Structure 1
Amino acid sequence: MGLKDAKEGKLLYHLTELKNLESIIDFGLVPRKILRENTVTFGDVADPEIIRKREVLGLDEYIPFHFHPYSAFDVAVKKTHVGEEMIYICITRSLARRNNFRILPKHPLALEECQLYDYDEGFEMIDWDILTRVGQNDEDARQIKMAECLSPLVIPVDAFQCIYVSSKETENKVADMLKQKGVIFPPPFITVMPQWFE
């Protein structure tokens, strides 16, 4: 999917380290607050300053997804975690809509107040012209391109639509892990997309 197709896309994207996948298969994608309250150890890819602000705003009660895999957050994480195997866990937007996940039309650090919107209202509030514009990377555009869809629910592996990986080798690791855990195909489908991890 290209950035220009983000509005019409069918998926939401959550970037994480491959080493987190075994726990995710066992327990689902879980909001950070629940993980911390239960002293679960996990590889955290987010910047500590951003995590602190998210906690203050109550956003650690949600699992964040982006509307495309090209956000400044994703780029920064991949640079910071060079050498770590990363994956994208994707769910369908229809799942998010049915369960009324919340939407932030801009990255939370860009907001004075953190106003969460119901899925449909929030989707319409996103500035899709800027979000889908290739090459516009001023600060405001970067914040808009990091609009988030937020799940208050634990998302089990059988709700995943697909997992994007960087290589055939990682694809095999993910497939083996799912098989060992008894996850039946399909979904989640596993797709190799090396350009998303460069």
Structure 2
Amino acid sequence: MSRNTQIQDQSLLYHLTCMDNLPSILKKGLCSRESLGNGFTDVADGQIIQGREALNLQRMVPFHFFSNNPFDGRVKKNHKDKTFCMITVNRDFAKENNWKIIPTHPLSAYKEIELMDYTTGFSKIDWNLMNQRDYTIPECKQVCMAECLSPTTVYAKSFHCFYVKDDVAKSHVLKLLDEYKLNTYVNINSTMC
């Protein structure tokens, strides 16, 4: 998608994960934090995790409305030693499966947080502010971390595509997909991962 395309008009949702987690994700699906246990590479901020638990969001699988949002940027900056991939699903899939939306960062100080059904939540996002992507404006930064949350595990057969940083990462993902008998497209986009 072109950067000029308005975020609300795009078709995908994005979930950044460490490449180390991919074999488990392909086998078991993209699971909620609550159901994972200890066998995964965790790159999330501990304080944010505690705040999410207070809202019972650890039972859901979070996606964002565009890549390279403030969450993605922070994770990549804090874990330069890790290799990442971006998992995408189609927004229509999320809508059809009753995913929920929080129209700003779940721990935002600017708005009271409410978990909404997909259609209501989508209409409540401040798209004009999100499309600015100006992370020096605190409220814009919070809106850019709005979430779309799956209430259930998202299985690999439902993934739209993967984004990886280079040919080496693409070869690795294709090998894993072959091992798990999956046929999902893998794109190279070094800015996303």
TM class by shorter chain equals over 0.9
What is residue 176 of structure 1 aligned with on the other side? Answer: 175
How much does 1:70 deviate?
2.2
How much does 1:134 deviate?
4.1
| C-alpha contact 2:59 2:151 (8 A) present in aligned 1 | yes
CA distance in 2, matches of 1:85, 1:3: 27
| C-alpha contact 1:130 1:141 (8 A) present in aligned 2 | yes
> Which amino acid letter does the alignment assign opposite residue 178 of structure 1?
L
How much does 1:47 deviate?
0.2
Q: Which runs of 4+ in 1 moved over 6 A?
A: none
Compared with structure 1, are the counterparts of its residues 136 and 44 closer, same or farther at alpha carbon in structure 2 (3 Å cutoff)?
closer
> Which amino acid letter does the alignment assign opposite residue 19 of structure 1?
D
CA-to-aligned-CA distance 1:39-85 (integer Å, 9 cap, x gap):
x4101111000001101110001100000002111100000010211
| C-alpha contact 1:4 1:132 (8 A) present in aligned 2 | no
TM score, norm. by length of structure 1: 0.92
> Which amino acid letter does the alignment assign opposite residue 152 of structure 1?
P
Q: Paired residues, what number?
A: 191
What are the residue-to-residue correspondences of 1:105-116 with 2, within 5 Å? 105-111=103-109, 113-116=112-115
> Which amino acid letter does the alignment assign opposite residue 47 of structure 1?
D
What is residue 92 of structure 2 aligned with on the other side? Answer: 94
Q: Which runs of 5+ in 1 are unaligned?
A: none
Deviates more, 1:135-144 or 1:82-91: 135-144
What is residue 82 of structure 1 aligned with on the other side? Answer: 80
What are the residue-to-residue correspondences of 1:1-198 with 2, within 5 Å? 1=1, 2=3, 4-36=5-37, 40-111=38-109, 113-135=112-134, 137-183=136-182, 185=183, 188-197=184-193
| C-alpha contact 2:100 2:118 (8 A) present in aligned 1 | yes
CA distance in 1, matches of 2:32, 2:186: 23
How much does 1:135 deviate?
3.6
TM score, norm. by length of structure 2: 0.95
CA-to-aligned-CA distance 1:132-154 (integer Å, 9 cap, x gap):
11446311110001110000111
Deviates more, 1:68-77 or 1:128-137: 128-137
Q: Percent identity?
A: 36
> What is the RMSD computed on CA atoms of the aligned residues?
1.4
